[in-house]
Structure 1
Amino acid sequence: MFEAGALTPDPYILFLLGLGALVILVSWGPAGLKRLPVSLAILCVAIGYGVFSLGWLAFNPDPRTFDTVTERMAELVVIVSLMGAGLKLDRRLGWKAWGATWRLLAIAMPLTIALVAWLGVGALGFSLPMALLLGASLAPTDPVLAADVQTGPPGSGENSEVRFHLTAEAGLNDALAFPFVNLAIVAAAGGLALGPQLAEWALVDVVWKLAAGLGMGVLVGRGLGWLMFSGRPNALAGVADGLVALGATLLAYALTEVVHGYGFLAVFVAALTIRNAEREHDYHRELHDFAEQVEKLLMLLLLVLFGGAIANGLFDALTWTDGLVALAILLLVRPLAGYASLFGTGLKRREKAAIAFFGIRGIGTVYYVAYGLNHGDFGSSERLWAVVGLVILGSIVLHGVSSTPLLRLAERR
């Protein structure tokens, strides 16, 4: 006879069941969903929402409760994604070849931060520091969830102007948003009214940390590139496997953080440097594929937890005004800022429109919000998390459904 409660699933067994399902989704999901207007991200959020709504799990994956864990998990997914993004860029770094990317970074991102912060103060009633944190967190194009609109694996030829610039932008703007997140932290401490604190922010958080990230990325990338592709009989490219991509990611990130630089920048630059060490070697594909598999598994796990957070009340603090602001950020702020920054690039109108529209928000935004709240005094964060979560969910659905048809239109010759 069954005892009472014997049919209640064990949470550990449910975890193993979910992990197994995620591994299968990582392997088979892209092929199975290729012809459907549903992305893996949408499916995982729906699964998370459904599982946690059933009440089988007492665990509540609320980022407001597990702020440090949220920060670290999102951080790991982002740096692995940055390594994969850098490895798959076939185009050499150059001022003209990357012209649209530089414009997106120098014009679109600061403009997006300013407009979102303005909405945060004027429409949402946030304090200036919190509004600035909102703007800085929502400005970067996410390197994780933007995989469907990025270039293909190394040497695959899937390297249109739209895909290239979205990949390059996502690789760099996560690091370049960091000074603005740190500025919000300074503002929360009253530093905007204090000249010395503002000067320290400019020298340390802007100049030093960017320079250290760039320098360490080149140093690590050149060192590993030499070990892999030096032409010696014992060069590692002939004997190593794709696991090296994870080691390179952690090495570049950790060494840069030790010298107080931006590890996000170092990882992407290291990947570009490794790619340029010997551009035609098949080992790049193996490195990229391993990084992509790890990234997808971690991403899908986080998205299931995100769906669970929604089921457990992440959006309870939302108002109608918050919903309208979230729509404005997705449909007006990024598209207009992105399109305006691309004038004079020589891109076709449909290419500029596609690049401007696909400013996907996701795991990077989660990281920056968690980081800012863990390092600054911003007060109650319920509405901030609710607005950010709504923008991320809207981006997952809107961009996930539209990416395939819109990219086909933009890339049509």
Structure 2
Amino acid sequence: MIDTSQIDSFLLLSALILISGVLAAKFSNRIGLPSLVLFILVGMIIGSDGFGVIYFNDPSQAQMVGIFALVIILFEGGLQTKFSTVRSVALPSLSLATLGVLLTSGIVGAAAFLIFDITWMQALLLGAIVGSTDAAAVFAALKERNIKAKMGATLEAESGTNDPMAVFLTISFIEIILIPETSIFSLFPSFIWQMGMGLIIGVLIGKFSSIAINRIKLDSSGLYPIFSVAFALLAYGAASMIGASGFLAVYVAALVIGNSELTYRYSIFQFNEGFAWMAQIFMFILLGLLVFPAELFTWNVMFGGFLLSAVLILVARPIAVLLSTLGMGYKWNEKLFISWAGLRGAVPIILATFPIVAGVEDGEFFFNVVFFIVLTSALVQGTTISKLAKTLNLMGPKKDTPHHSIELISMGKANAEMVQFQVDSDAAIAGQKLKDVAFPQKASISAIVRNENLITPYGETEIKSGDFLYILVSSKYEKELKKALEAKR
């Protein structure tokens, strides 16, 4: 007989972790606390220093799981981002992702040298680890908040592209500490290669995957979302194999895919949203398991971590944002908000495992300090983003999500799409009757949902702001339909 008790325990534990994560996400919105904090707390509670349900102390495994989860989270975030929005903030986002990370790392590193009894290289390594904002934390914090599009796009694009600089700096300082004769200037060509090839691979795989998804005829619609995730993993793996930035390749590939005309588009998007939530839950709970509260909540870690958090939030990040966005058209209130909303999350924690795995002296101490900084950032900044945006007059239009049960489908074999569209107040079709709207041929409005009520459309039906339109259209005329829908007054 095969002993299945370990498998049974693993499956039961996985179920409890997912249930705890979903409930934590639900309550996080009610109490205004970022979900990542609750996920981490769940991990700490069930860990060895809590109830002792799970003992986990393997940084290399946590690193592997964290990288996989970040690939899924970055891919989902890129899918949801519009090219038109990213294009308008491309330059400041790239500046924040490179110069901003460099400045932040340098200032925090200088503060770490003064606060802790460590060498300059160790201090700069610590600064590099916390130098970048985190895509998982930023995407989660902005997802349900109606922040102005420009601010949201800047922060999301920055967090999606600043990992290469943080990874480059972290690995470079580890090499210099372990091999003192290494010169950091000799490593800069590697950074150029990482950024350039990561961008190229992301574009190529994004284009190829969009064509493949549309051209291939799969027997089951459920295979298309899996197909898309496979390309996300391919982008990361292909880039990493040649020493390029896998994270950048994934984000760029997702941007290309998400802004292409796709068959089974809604199935792909919905699957990846759920998969990203699952990855986020497992990743942060696992990172919570990795930390030992008895080592985290010591005077040295807490006092030094609090001082470094203050320097990071109040000094380093504002200076980096100010200098990185000079002459780029951002107002003072916008710069203040970008400074405050630069959340730290999974990426710094995962980068903090690099020194431990590499055998750097005081690596575990660095991990605990970084973990404390991430918790401080999430608690202080994450809980006040909405209030600050409202105070600075940076709130955008309310984000509405339909709660009705109409099933969106993509009829790939019939070459037809069911298009969902929410009517904004400034849309050209708002206020018009259906019979007066110049929809393309072979496009038919199947349903209108208004204030949670289903309305049967006919010629005299007036389209109102806030309506959700469900339009069946031939794939051939989908672009023409979207052009008509997105026209402004």
- Taking structure 1 as the reference length, the TM-score comes to 0.82
In structure 2, the residue corresponding to 1:318 is in which secondary structure?
helix
Give yes or no for contact 1:133–1:369 (8 Å, CA) kept in 2.
no
Aligned to 1:347, what secondary structure does the other structure show? coil
In the alignment, the residues of structure 2 paired with residue 236 and residue 130 of structure 1 have an alpha-carbon distance, to the nearest angstrom, of 55
Deviations 1:71-109 (A, max 9, x none): 112111211111112111113487654232133124321
Paired residue for 2:194? Answer: 209
Distance 1:236 1:351 in 2: 49
SS state of the match for residue 296, structure 2? coil
Match of 1:293 in 2: 274
Aligned length: 389
**Counterpart in the other structure of 1:267:** 250
Alignment deviations for residues 337-387 of structure 1 (CA, whole Å, 9 cap, x no partner): 224433433233322211111111111112212234424x52122321121
Question: Conserved in 1, the CA contact under 8 Å of 2:197 and 2:244?
Answer: yes
Aligned to 1:3: none
TM-score (norm 2): 0.70
> Which one is further off, 169-178 or 116-125?
116-125
Contact residue 42 and residue 400 of structure 1 kept, 8 A: no
Given that 1:144 and 1:363 are in contact with CA atoms closer than 8 Å, whether structure 2 keeps it comes out as: yes
| Deviation of 1:260 (Å) | 2.3
> Partners of 1:239 and 1:383 in 2: how far apart?
45
Q: How does 1:184-333 map to 2 (within 5 A)?
A: 184-191=173-180, 193-194=181-182, 198-199=185-186, 201-203=187-189, 205-229=190-214, 232=215, 234=217, 240-278=223-261, 281=262, 283-308=264-289, 309-316=291-298, 318=301, 320-333=303-316
CA pair 226-11 structure 1, distance change in 2 beyond 3 A: closer
Q: Distance in 1 between matches of 2:130 and 2:152?
A: 20
Residue in structure 1 matched with residue 119 of structure 2 by the alignment: 127
Describe the shift of the 1:207–1:345 C-alpha distance in structure 2 as closer, same or farther (beyond 3 A): closer
Structure 2 match to 1:160: 149
Name 2:350's counterpart in structure 1.
Answer: 367
More strand by percentage: 2
| Counterpart residue type for residue 334 of structure 2 | E
In structure 1, what residue type is equivalent to 2:55? Answer: N
Is the CA contact 2:32–2:383 (under 8 Å) kept in the aligned structure 1? Answer: yes
Deviation string, structure 1 residues 180-223 (Cα, Å, up to 9, x no partner) = 122212211345x455x852x233x2232333222221221111
Alpha-carbon contact 1:338-1:357 (below 8 Å) kept? no
Structure 1 residues 110 and 68, CA gap change in structure 2 (3 angstroms) = same
What is the letter of the counterpart of residue 73 of structure 1? Answer: V
CA contact (8 A) 1:245 1:287 kept: yes
Equivalent position amino acid for 2:296 in 1 = L
User: Would you say the 8 A contact 1:33–1:40 is kept in 2?
Assistant: yes
Determine the C-alpha separation between the residues in 2 that align with 1:239 and 1:18: 27
The residue type equivalent to 1:381 in the other structure is G
Q: 1:334 aligns with which of 297, 317, 340?
A: 317
Q: Aligned match of 1:149 in 141, 146, 162?
A: 141
- The 3-state SS of whatever aligns with 1:242 is helix
* In 1, Cα distance between equivalents of 2:263 and 2:331: 33
Partner of 1:24: 19
Distance of 2:32 and 2:360 partners within structure 1: 39
Aligned-partner Cα distance in 2 for 1:233–1:70 = 36
Name 1:87's counterpart in structure 2.
79
Q: CA deviation at 1:285?
A: 4.4
Distance 1:159 1:26 in 2: 28
* Alpha-carbon offset, residue 282 of structure 1: 7.2
Higher mean alpha-carbon deviation, 391-400 vs 12-21, is at 12-21
Asked if 2 retains the 8 angstrom alpha-carbon contact of 1:237 and 1:283, the reply is no
Report what 1:177 is aligned to: 166
Aligned to 1:38: 33
Of 396, 399, 402, 2:378 maps to 396
Residue of structure 2 equivalent to 1:5: none
Distance 2:324 2:154 in 1: 13
| SS of residue matched to 1:361 | coil
Pick from 92, 112, 118 the counterpart of residue 110 of structure 2: 118
Distance 1:282 1:122, change over 3 A: farther
Output the amino acid matched with 1:275.
G
Q: Which amino acid aligns with 2:329?
A: G
Change (3 A) 1:136 1:258: same
Is the contact between residue 138 and residue 343 of structure 2 (CA under 8 Å) also seen in structure 1? yes
Higher mean C-alpha displacement, 389-398 vs 333-342: 333-342
> Does structure 2 retain, via aligned residues, the 8 Å contact 1:113–1:135?
yes
Larger RCO (CA within 8 A; separation ≥ 6): 1
Shift of 1:397: 1.3
Q: Secondary structure, in 3 states, of the residue corresponding to 1:359? A: coil
Please give the alpha-carbon distance, in whole angstroms, between the structure 2 residues aligned to 1:45 and 1:17: 19
State the match for 2:336 in structure 1: 353
Contact 2:141 2:382 (8 Å CA) reproduced: no
Structure 1 position 38, deviation (Å): 2.3
1:14 Cα deviation from its structure 2 partner: 7.0
CA distance, structure 2, for counterparts of residue 80 and residue 401 of structure 1: 25
Alpha-carbon distance in structure 1 between the residues aligned to 2:44 and 2:169? 32
Query: Sequence identity, in percent?
Result: 22
1:73 aligns with 2:27: no
| Distance in 1 of aligned mates of 2:191 and 2:75 | 22
The Cα shift of 1:389 comes to 0.9
Judged with a 3 Å threshold, the aligned counterparts in structure 2 of structure 1 residues 233 and 131 are, in CA distance, closer, same or farther, namely closer
Partner Cα distance (1:236, 1:166) in 2: 39
Structure 2, unmatched stretches of 5+, are 397-489
Contact 2:218–2:224 (CA under 8 A) maintained in structure 1: no
Displacement of 1:252 after TM fit? 0.9
What is the aligned partner in structure 1 of residue 366 from structure 2?
A: 384
* Preserved contact between residue 86 and residue 153 of structure 2 (Cα < 8 Å): no
Deviation at 1:388, TM superposition (A): 0.3
Which AA in structure 2 matches 1:265?
L
Letter of the structure 2 residue corresponding to residue 360 of structure 1? L
Aligned residue type for 2:61: V
Aligned pair in 2 of structure 1 residues 129, 11: CA closer, same or farther (>3 Å)?
Answer: farther
Bigger proportion of residues as helix: 1
Cα displacement (A) at 1:111: 0.6
Q: Secondary structure at the match of 1:165?
A: helix
Q: Secondary structure at the match of 2:244?
A: coil
The structure that has the greater radius of gyration is 2
Distance 1:347 1:210 in 2: 25
Two-structure CA RMSD over aligned residues (Å): 3.2
